[in-house]
A and B are shown apart, each in its own frame.
Chain A
Amino acid sequence: MTADIAAAPEIRRRSRKLWRIRRSVLSWVGIAMAGLLILVAVFGPLLVPHPEAGGATVDVAGALRPPSAQHWFGTDDVGRDVFSRVILAARVSLISGLTVVVAGSAIGVVVGLVGGYLAGGTNVVLMRVADIFLAVPGVALALAFAAALRPSLTTTVVAITLVWWPWMARLVQAEVLSIRTSAFVEASRTYGASHVRILFRDILPNLTSVIVVKASLDVGFAVLMVAALGFLGAGVQPPTPEWGSMIAGGRAYLPDAWWLSTFPGLAIFVAVLGFNLLGDALRDVLDVSQEV
């Protein structure tokens, strides 16, 4: 039986009133944007005006047309509807972003829990390992990884996950280090709770808000990284639409066919902004210790 009595004032109360979401427009905008992105990613392929744009169809006559009523974002160099491609690319970005964050959190939380709980030498070693991954610039590491194996969606996701997990690990480790000396953890120990039990019953629940906030804020980071890799040609391969590779592909036609690079970039901005706002909103709700 864990000591969940009032003798544990340090536990952040988990029952936040959800309507305490800052009565700020921005939070709701973020939630709406993130929601929209998810909808677009899930239902996009069904609603898209020109589904064939996601493939390798070629229509030379209709190539490089500026935005119009039939093609809201214009057409690309082989005649595909840019709007459809942007919508379809949302799926790639969203899946990647969420997978990176989920997988990276899994790794990071485990490492952080172990390191923070055992402290001492083990923690130092684990954090140094994390530091190694942190010292090498993210894009470089992801690039190297993707270049060593054949670039694809999978390698992209794995590479970015490898880059991201240390951030979560460090955060979790720091929190665990401070929680493990709390009164209620000690109390549990006096009841004979095993280490595993303490970790999962006492410590982990107090980390959930921190983890969720960090993860949601960093979905944007993951999306940006996917686009960066795509831009450099080391990510998702054509003809699969991906925002970063679309920007890169459109460069050759600047400044005339400006719509090729502009709209994918705008889409990235909207997506990342939406998740950042969502992360901020979650932070307002979950984490009292944050700023005014």
Chain B
Amino acid sequence: MNAKTFALRRLLPLPVVLLGVTVLVFVISHVVPSDPVAVALGDQATPEQRQAMREALGLDASLPVQFLRYLGDLFQGDLGTSLVTKRPVAFDLGQAVPASIELTTVAILFAVVVGVPLGVAGAVFVNRWPDYLSRVVALVGVSLERAWVAVLLQLVIATALGFPIIGRISGPPPPKVTGLYLVDSLVAGDLGAFGSAWRHIALPAFALSLGALAQIARVARSRMLEERSKEYIRANRAQGLRGRVITFKYMLRNALPVTVTVTGLSYGALLGNAFLVETVFGWPGLGQYGVQAILNNDLPAIAGVTLVLGVVFVVVNTLVDVLYAYIDPRVRFS
């Protein structure tokens, strides 16, 4: 089968999987040992107020009914109301998700653009200085505490400028098209906003990218080295094919699939673990929102964040599978 058929087949079960994620989220949010009523009202509420709140939150109905209501609400885009911010969770997420997506995407792009060439260079120049550089970068990237790097970067910039860089932009954000300030400012033709958005995203994205960069470089290097000793590459040399062609066409194409997988997994991991960097840079993303939700036992918000993350993981993994199948035709037939 060709790549398109494979893609369709892979995407079909998606709704079922997403449903599974919502069930999981629902179960988790009802298993966490905390009382939403207490959270919403605090300690000083009277029994009557508690009962009223229970009814308002729909907690008096049986679990299956609650789940159905939850599903129904979901379809209407209603994810409940945050017990802390008192706003609809959907609204809060609407602000937070684009911020996280933008940060994670820039970070992954950086990780790939730097990591893949670094890994490939390491393999091509094995045991010479580009390889040592590649390995050192990978080792260091994997050993650094992201929060610390973020703090240091803040420190350095704050010292240089006299003030720390916080948040997504200085000044009014561009009119909302996607919620991604970099994109929106270009759409609106506002180069000033673009510049500001870029200055604000560069450091957190860099801090966030390090771990993924290291992993991607390591994997790329390792796979390229494996390819070197493959018999069909020897055959290519015996056929007189040029070295550059062999490396960048025939070896790379075989080394890419695993690299793509690692990149995809890294995307999901970065999205979920951006907490620390977001906290340091005051980036209003999912991570910050999630941390606050957890520390305050804000169940609807926790459920909302987990749902979004679950959906993103599933979608990204599926996309990765499809891309993998496009690159490696053997997979389409298994």
Q: Which residues of A contact B (CB under 8 A)?
A: 132, 135-140, 143-144, 147-148, 220, 224, 227-228, 231-234, 243-244, 247-248, 250-251, 254-255, 258, 261-262, 264-265, 268-269, 272-273, 276-277, 291-292
B143 within 8 A of partner (CB): yes
Find out whether the CB atom of A231 lies under 8 angstroms from the CB atom of B147: yes
Contacts A148-B33, A244-B145 hold; do A136 and B306 have CB atoms under 8 A apart?
A: yes
CB distance B272 to A269 under 8 Å?
no
Can you show 14 pairs from A to B with CB atoms below 8 A apart?
A: A135-B313, A137-B269, A137-B272, A138-B272, A140-B275, A147-B295, A148-B32, A244-B147, A254-B151, A258-B155, A261-B151, A269-B148, A276-B143, A292-B228
Contact across chains for A139 and B32 when beta carbons are under 8 A apart = no
Task: Kindly identify, within residues 128 to 162 of chain B, every residue whose CB is under 8 Å from any CB belonging to chain A.
Answer: 139-140, 142-149, 151-152, 154-155, 158-159
In the bound complex, CA of A244 to CA of B276 (Å): 11
Interface size on B, residues (CB 8 A): 47
Complex CA distance for A270 and B143, rounded to whole angstroms: 8
Number of A-B contacts (CB under 8 A): 117
Does residue B297 face the partner (Cβ distance < 8 Å to A)?
Answer: yes
Contacts of A233 in B (CB 8 A): 295
State how many angstroms separate the Cβ of B167 from the closest Cβ of chain A: 16
Complex CA gap A250/B147 in Å reads 12
B275 contact set on A, CB distance < 8 A: 139-140, 143, 228, 232
Residues of B within 8 A of A (CB): 24, 32-34, 126, 139-140, 142-149, 151-152, 154-155, 158-159, 164, 221-222, 225-226, 228-229, 269, 271-273, 275-276, 279-280, 290-291, 294-295, 297, 302, 305-306, 309-310, 313
Minimum Cβ distance to chain B for residue A275 (Å): 8
Q: Which residues of B contact A277 (CB under 8 A)?
A: 139
Given A228-B276, A234-B295, A291-B226, decide whether A265 and B142 contact each other with a Cβ distance below 8 A. no
CA distance A273 to B138 in the complex (A): 11
Minimum CB–CB distance for B320 against chain A, Å: 15
B225 touches A291 (CB 8 A): yes
Q: Which residues of B contact A265 (CB under 8 A)?
A: 145, 148-149, 151-152
* Residues of A close to B271: CB separation below 8 A: 137
Question: In the complex, what residues of A have CB within 8 A of residue B24's CB?
Answer: 132
Contact A232 B279 (CB under 8 A): yes
Please name all residues of chain A whose beta carbon is closer than 8 Å to the beta carbon of B142 when the two chains form the complex: 220, 272, 276
Find the residue from A132, A135, A227 having the highest chain B CB count within 10 A: A135
Report B-chain residues with C-beta under 8 Å of the C-beta of A264.
Answer: 148
Measured in the bound complex, the distance between the Cα atoms of B292 and A233 in whole Å is 12
Alpha-carbon separation in the docked complex, A258 to B156 (Å):
10
Tell me which residues across on chain B come within 8 A of A132, comparing CB atoms.
24
**Which A residues lie within 8 Å of B276 (CB)?**
139, 228, 231-232
Across the interface, do A138 and B273 meet the contact criterion of CB distance under 8 Å? Answer: yes
Given the interface pairs A255-B155, A261-B151, the reply to whether A139 lies near B273 with Cβ below 8 Å is yes
B127: min CB distance to chain A, Å: 9
**Closest CB in chain B relative to A187 CB, distance in Å:** 30
The reply to whether A232 and B158 contact each other, CB–CB distance below 8 Å, is no
Task: List the A side residues contacting B158 at CB < 8 Å.
Answer: 254-255
- Which residues of B sit under 8 angstroms from A148, Cβ to Cβ? 32-34
Question: Which residues on B sit within 8 Å (CB–CB) of A255?
Answer: 155, 158-159
Kindly list chain B residues whose C-beta atoms are within 8 Å of the C-beta of A228. Answer: 145-147, 275-276
Is A137's CB under 8 angstroms from B159's CB? Answer: no
Chain A residue with the shortest CB-CB distance to B280: A251
Nearest CB in chain B: distance from A169 CB, A: 17
Contact B152 A262 (CB under 8 A): yes
Nearest B residue to A243, CB-CB: B145
Q: Which of B32, B148, B229 has the most A CB atoms < 10 Å from its CB?
A: B148
| Cβ–Cβ < 8 Å partners of B305 in chain A | 140
What separation, in Å, do the CA atoms of A292 and B229 have in the docked complex? Answer: 10
Instruction: Using A250-B151, A262-B155 as known contacts, list a sample of 12 further A-B pairs with CB atoms less than 8 Å apart, ordered by residue number in A.
Output: A139-B273, A140-B275, A140-B294, A140-B305, A144-B32, A144-B302, A232-B291, A255-B158, A258-B155, A269-B148, A277-B139, A292-B126
- What is the bound-complex CA distance between A243 and B291, given in angstroms? 20
A143 and B291 contacting across the interface, CB-CB below 8 Å: yes
Q: How far apart sit A254 and B155, CA to CA, in the bound complex (Å)?
A: 6
Q: Are A269 and B145 in contact (CB under 8 A)?
A: yes
Q: In the bound complex, what is the Cα–Cα distance between A117 and B288 (angstroms)?
A: 42
- How distant is the Cα of A244 from the Cα of B297 in the complex, in angstroms? 23
Taking the nearest CB of chain B, how far is it from the CB of A228, in angstroms?
A: 6
Query: Which residue of the partner chain A has the closest CB to B297?
Result: A147
Q: How far is the CB of B231 from chain A (nearest CB, A)?
A: 16
Does A227 contact B155, Cβ atoms closer than 8 Å? no
Docked-complex contact A140 and B272, CB < 8 angstroms: yes
With the chains together, A251 CA to B159 CA distance in Å? Answer: 13
- Chain A residues with Cβ below 8 Å from B143 are 220, 269, 272-273, 276
Give Cα A272 to B272, complex, Å: 22
Q: Which residues of B contact A261 (CB under 8 A)?
A: 148, 151-152, 155
What's the least CB distance linking B296 to chain A, in Å?
Answer: 9
Partner of B310, one of A135, A224, A262: A135
Assembled-state Cα–Cα distance A268/B269 (Å): 21
Closest 4 pairs between A and B when the two form their complex, measured CB to CB:
A137-B272, A265-B148, A273-B143, A272-B143
Q: How far is the CA of A233 from the CA of B275 in the complex (A)?
A: 13
Verify B151–A273 contact, CB threshold 8 A: no
| Closest A residue to B302 using CB positions | A144
CA gap between A272 and B149 in the complex, in Å: 14
Given contacts A254-B151, A277-B139, contact A268 B145 (CB under 8 A): yes
